[in-house]
Amino acid sequence: MTQEDVHFVDKSDETEVGEVSVDFAAPTLSKPGLLVMDVDSTLIDEEVIDELGEAAGKGEEISEVTERAMRGELEFCDALRARIALLKGLPVSVFDTVHDKLHFTNGALELIDTLHAHGWKVGVVSGGFHEVVDRLAAEGNIDFWIANRLEVEDGKLTGQVLGEIVCKTVKLHALRAWAERLGVPMSQTVAVGDGANDIPMIQAAGLGLAFCAKPKTQLAADEAINTRDLRLVLDYLR
């Protein structure tokens, strides 16, 4: 497994996959591939920054900004900086508390195991934080991941982000960079997410899936899954 810092198809044929009608040439499990997914509200049920906000006594303020960002009403980077500023003074031990409240989405681990059994790799791209995502990646047997890193002084959060923020462009670059590294054509990639900042990678992948997503994201995706079960992703793979 690799922790990453990233800086930097023809869909005309109709294919029937089980009971799902797919109107493009879907990626296939018979060849190596790459699935990349968002973390908050996709890989896991929760939004980590909302959990941190509750710990800081700023839950309502942070949730409101989160919702606006997910709907595409605010630029993600601006919204993230505003929310992180509200976390100033929290002890780093809060990440242990938050981690213990998180739940992998129904079917997430089964999806990862099935993809690995077919020679695929799995990456996650998170607008959340390494302090949590590193642990989720280890627990979920995930191959690649990126997330934001928070500045800490004297064991407390300063309210600042270190380095480049994982925004929609960074997520897109990660998908392409990992596919290139693996020698996997983009037609053999799948991107799964729920927010506006997932749209570029969803549109670039061979198969882009909106997962219990905001309306704007559903409109941008090839297909939408509106039941919280990540095993349903497999229905779209030939």
In our burial notation (b when 16+ CB lie closer than 10 A, e otherwise), range 184-223 reads: bbebbbbbbbbbbbbbbbbebbbbbbbbbbbeebbebbbb
At 24 the pLDDT is 56
Cross-strand partners of 146: 125
Give the closest residue to 165 by CA, choosing from 155, 150, 180: 150
Active site residue 154: no
Query: Average pLDDT, stretch 204-230?
Result: 97
Q: Taking a C-beta distance cutoff of 8 angstroms, is the pair 155, 119 a contact? A: no
At 4 the pLDDT is 52
pLDDT interval class at 19 (50, 70, 90): very low
Residues 6+ apart with CB under 8 A from 213: 193, 194, 195, 198, 221, 224
At 13 the pLDDT is 40
pLDDT interval class at 74 (50, 70, 90): confident
Euclidean distance between CA atoms 209 and 220, whole angstroms: 9
Active site residue 38: yes
Position of tokens 């020698």? Answer: 183
pLDDT tens digits for range 83-119: 999 999 999 999 999 999 999 999 999 999 999 999 9
Position of tokens 């797919």? Answer: 22
pLDDT interval class at 2 (50, 70, 90): low
Catalytic residue among 40, 194, 198, 222: 40
At 62 the pLDDT is 92
Catalytic residue among 38, 194, 198, 222: 38
